[in-house]
Chains A and B, each alone.
Chain A
Amino acid sequence: MANATVTTTPESTHWTALKRAIRSFALFRESWIGMIGAAIIVFWILVAIFAPLISPFDPLATLQPFAKPGTTFVKGGTFLLGTDHIGRDILSRLIWGSRTVLIYAPLATFTAYAVGILMGLAAGYQRGWVDDVLSRISDIVLSFPVLVLYIIIIATIGASGVNIIIAITFASAPGVMRIVRGLVLDLRSRDYVAAAQIRGESAWYIMLVEILPNARGPLIVDACLRMGYVIITIGVLGFLGLGLPPPDPDWGGMINETRQMAMAFPHMALFPCMAISSLILGFNLLADGLREISLRD
């Protein structure tokens, strides 16, 4: 209080918000693990945004089958990472494929979180039969092996971008719900929640405004980790032939299409594998970094 002076108009919210953002970033920079993760993710985001500019060939054009990495194309240019069995440039497909992953993975994670958070808030805050019903539903979903669940869902409703998101939401939301429910069970007994109840606030106001913002720390960390799993899932679905229908470039699909030739032409499957791994690694490192900071203070 000693250094705060009394003024009639305190400084505006935007200014303090900006200062807080700068301070948070300064804190984050101290975690080099998190910085590496963030760098990898930013790299892929840039690749996805500038795909039309940086991809050397048309990802769908069949140019020269079975070219090894580094082969020069007769009409000019080099296949830096080689081509696949029907002659499409792997580098170009990787670059365009990053768009698929970076659109569907965040979308799927977001919807899984939206559903999971609403379920978790309701179960944790309302308790009673709401909790019983929601928890049992999530137990049932979680008791299925995820892969089997995906195959059943996609086989039933068909393979498409929207359906991938639906399948991932269905399978991941119960996990999110459990985390949120645990956090809410702790937060609902805080005095500020009681103060809101005494004011006669509605249940949804308390859940969304009083409780949810205080659960954001663990949820952000978990979202980053889960993003990694979702990328794996999208890859696996592609690999199983349940991903985006061809000919759109899809990293998982690329591995699937070329796996029979993996012994003779390892580059066809290897580079998409590396792309998937690097992005997952990026999100995991980012999650580690965020957790490190959140534990420090």
Chain B
Amino acid sequence: MTARGDTPILEIEDLNISYYTRAGEIPAVIDFTLTVDRSETVGLVGESGCGKSTVAWAIMQFMGNNGAIKSGSIKFIGHELNDLSDEALRQLRGSEISMIYQEPFAALNPSLTIASQLMEVPITHEQVSKKEAWERCAQMLSDVHLPDPQRIMHAYPHQLSGGQQQRVVISMALLSNPSLLLLDEPTTALDVTVEAGIVKLIADISKKFGTSQIYISHNLGLISEVCERVYVMYSGEVVEQGSINSVFTRPKHPYTQGLFGCIPLPPTDKNAAPLRPIKGQLPLPHKRPRGCNFGPRCDHFEAGRCDARNVTMVPVAGSDVVDHRVRCLRWNEIDGRGPPAQAKAKPPIELGERVLEVKHMQKYYEVHDRTIAAFISGQSIRFVKANEALDFDARRGETVAIVGESGCGKSTFAKVLMGLECSSAGELRHEGLEIGNTLVNRRSSQQQNALQMVFQNPNDTLNPSHTVGAQIARVIEKFGIEKDKNKIRERVLNLLDDVKLPRDFYFCRPRQLSGGQKQRVGIARAFAGNPSLVIADEPVSSLDVSVAAAVTELLMEIQREHQTTLLFISHDLSVVRYLADRIVVMYLGQIMERGTTEEIFAPPYHPYTEALLSAVPIADPDIEKREIVLEGDLPSALDPPMGCPFVTRCPRKLGEICEQERPLMQSLSREHAIACHIPIEELQHIEPVISVSPASERLRAK
């Protein structure tokens, strides 16, 4: 931390922001105080709707036409921003204060070249010549580790990958050498291995350019890896602030503690130590409770005290804690008691017979190239090899996770399994019957019923035109489980009970529900006909941390009750570690490694698994990770490498053999197999990626 004598880059004091809507005034940010020192990175973490982005917009003094700063001050190097004129603000924005947004493809203008978008910055703010602007931009592009800056300068945004686009956006923000950089979820839209590269870049920037940063994210793991200090927000207020070490190892506020109970960190386990979701829901901004906003959801709530009046921030007195403050009246009383009401351990599910067998399954898509060049060369049909030689199986009651980044073919596999597409070759057997070549309409009613799916996007999974009850009832009616109208209805109401939703939701339309509630209905719908196998395609990846924990637990519980086989598709290894019995790691349509969860998470690793493990951010400062940052992007599935698909990015590439020959599966145990040319003996000597330091307080506390 820099010397306290300097003027801080940013000082926000007692900031209150409201939005004015037809429903009246909605306070979005209440009593917000924050300081950012020179070349310091400060994290702002919270769930959606907690006001963290509003703070960023307020710093930019860009509140839209229905938002207003009601009181408080925002001082930028000693100057009050609230008093600046529009003209002065225009000088400031993009030159002294820059912002990086969540979606790079929305931040870049698709009809202008990268060069013209980048050069605009120095030309507008510093009136430099075109030649100088060009040189500075090219230099900046190489500073953000983009290969071949001259080519990228001439490119249009659509010619770059998502990761490259985000690097361009970052370089644009840095061109004017700003004193303060606001990053609003800069990596949420990117794949994990690409994210790891961007996070490292952002961390390097503050060192290299001395830029102060405010890093906004919902991801506690990212915040812990990037920031020095953190502000935890809940329902418009900061509830806890302090250094990463202090807040992440000894959280004081019940909400922060609750958040840590919701993320599948290494000691948690679906059987022995399940997640502990925070009860209840985020209050609507105009329906906040009296007193502590977290009161109704807090396990330590004391009536008459916590709901008496607004709670203020108090410093946490302690031996080695500096600047750790918490908005809780009872922090001292509840401190040291550890997490309340440890969730009960459950016995592991007993696995039954084999339900699903996949043998050498292939799925190719034909792409017709109608250009003249393709016609001349005679290669007018090309194949997208979405799935290549998939081999695995799943047993009754088992959870098998398919892990991989976007474009690895996991969704294609789901489509083939569900009968929305036919496989090109190989076998796909469900309870002994071949289904790979049978589209869903040709399958028997039992088979349709037996295979169901939970989808990723909560806003898309339910039909907005029909009531919740009707959508679940349709499944029961379709599969003839009940015939009588009243019995169907009774069953739907029971299913709503099962997914812990009020029965009133029967007549609700999806838009009246929150994301987590919609996902629960999606689960109820998938399980309505007692399927034997359910595919869950990233069912919690778009939900908030505390909601995701509750939905994950619900999914596990229903699976346990029905002895369902669950195929869990995900890119997030920490969730997968928590809930899967076995893991299949895929890259570019092929299986790289498969095995039980313990086998995947311990050496020997496939080099890709190793990189994935390193890329997933972990919200625990005590855990040490080996840093492996992959270069480049996923190759196109139209034109995959001849040999090992991972060869273009592999840090352990052997040479010629990796480029020319496809590696065979090397078996290590009954379940564990790795597709790599590196001999197993050598892979066995790789150090573990994740290691917990023996002095970990968090683990000792458990």
Q: Which residues of A contact B (CB under 8 A)?
A: 1-2, 4-8, 10-13, 16, 190-192, 194-195, 197-202, 209-210, 213-214, 216
Contact = CB atoms under 8 A, between A and B. Distances in A.
A213 B281 CA distance: 31
A11 B281 contact: no
B310 interface: no
A194 B443 contact: no
A5 B505 CA distance: 10
Interface of B: 280-281, 283, 287, 296, 418-420, 440-441, 443, 445, 448, 451-453, 455-457, 460-467, 469, 471, 474-475, 478-479, 493, 501-507, 517, 525
A198 B502 contact: no
A199 B472 CA distance: 12
Contacts of A200: 440-441, 443, 445, 448, 478
Contacts of B420: 194, 197-198
10 closest cross-chain pairs (CB), A and B: A213-B465, A191-B455, A200-B448, A191-B460, A192-B463, A4-B502, A10-B506, A191-B461, A4-B504, A198-B418
A6 B504 contact: yes
B460 A8 contact: no
Given A1-B281, A191-B456, A194-B420, A8 B503 contact: yes
A7 to B, nearest CB: 6
Contacts of A1: 280-281, 501-502, 517
A5 B461 contact: no
B32 to A, nearest CB: 25
B696 to A, nearest CB: 37
A99 B451 CA distance: 56
A198 B464 contact: no
A190 B469 CA distance: 20
Max count, chain B CB within 10 A of own CB: residue among A6, A12, A194, A195 = A195
A191 B521 CA distance: 13
A2 B441 contact: no
A216 B507 CA distance: 20
Contact of B453 (A8, A10, A195, A201): A195
A171 B465 CA distance: 31
Contacts of A194: 418, 420, 453, 455
A13 B507 contact: yes
Contacts of A6: 502-504
Given A10-B507, A200-B440, A192 B462 contact: yes
Q: Of A1, A6, A198, which is in contact with the most chain B CB atoms at under 10 Å from its CB?
A: A198
Given A4-B505, A197-B420, A198-B419, A192 B460 contact: yes
Contacts of B441: 200, 202
Contacts of A216: 465
Nearest to B497: A6
Contacts of A213: 463, 465-466
B448 A5 contact: no
B460 A2 contact: no
A61 to B, nearest CB: 52
Nearest to A199: B478
A5 B504 CA distance: 7
Nearest to A210: B463
A12 B461 CA distance: 25
Nearest to B461: A191
27 contacts: A1-B502, A2-B281, A2-B283, A4-B504, A4-B505, A6-B504, A8-B503, A10-B503, A10-B505, A10-B507, A11-B504, A13-B507, A190-B460, A191-B460, A192-B460, A194-B418, A194-B420, A195-B525, A197-B418, A198-B418, A198-B440, A198-B448, A199-B474, A200-B440, A200-B445, A201-B478, A210-B463
Given A4-B504, A199-B475, A214 B465 contact: yes
